[in-house]
Amino acid sequence: MALEYRQKPSLSKLTTLELGGTAEVEIVIRQENDLDELAEFILSEKLRPMVIGWGSNLLCSDGHHDLALISVESPSAPDRVEQQGDTLVFRAGAGMRLPGVLGWAQKAGLTGMENLAGIPGSVGGAIAMNAGSYGAEIKDMVRRVRLWTPSQGLFWKDVNECGWGYRHFDPKIGFPKCIVWEVEMALKESTPKAVRKNMQDVYDRKKVTQPVTAKSAGCIFKNPEGESAGKLLDQAGFRGRGLGKVAFSEMHANFLVNLGGGVSADALELIKQARQSVKENFGINLETEVIFI
Q: Which positions are catalytic?
A: 167, 219, 289
Cis geometry, peptide bond prior to residue 211 (ω within 30 degrees of 0): no
Cβ atoms 61, 264 nearer than 8 A: yes
CA angle 117, 101, 220 (to 5 degrees): 45
50 binds ligand FAD (CB under 6 A): yes
Burial class, 3, CB count within 10 angstroms (exposed 0-12 / middle 13-18 / buried 19+): middle
171 binds ligand FAD (CB under 6 A): no
Number of H helices, E strands in the chain: 6, 18
**Which of 74, 216, 254, 264 forms a contact with ligand FAD (CB under 6 A)?**
216
Q: Smaller CB distance to ligand FAD: residue 190 or 258?
A: 258
**Which of 18, 26, 49, 54 forms a contact with ligand FAD (CB under 6 A)?**
54
**Nearest partner of 200 among 145, 192, 62, 290, judged by Cα:** 192
**Which of 19, 25, 58, 59 forms a contact with ligand FAD (CB under 6 A)?**
58
Q: Smaller CB distance to ligand FAD: residue 50 or 109?
A: 50
**Which of 42, 187, 217, 253 forms a contact with ligand FAD (CB under 6 A)?**
217
258 binds ligand FAD (CB under 6 A): no
**Which of 9, 49, 53, 99 forms a contact with ligand FAD (CB under 6 A)?**
53
Site stretch for ligand FAD (CB under 6 A), options 27-35, 103-111, 209-217, 259-267? 209-217
Burial class, 121, CB count within 10 angstroms (exposed 0-12 / middle 13-18 / buried 19+): buried
Q: What residues make contact with ligand FAD under the rule CB under 6 A?
A: 16, 50-58, 72, 94, 119-122, 124-126, 128-129, 131-133, 167, 176, 179-180, 212, 216-218, 291
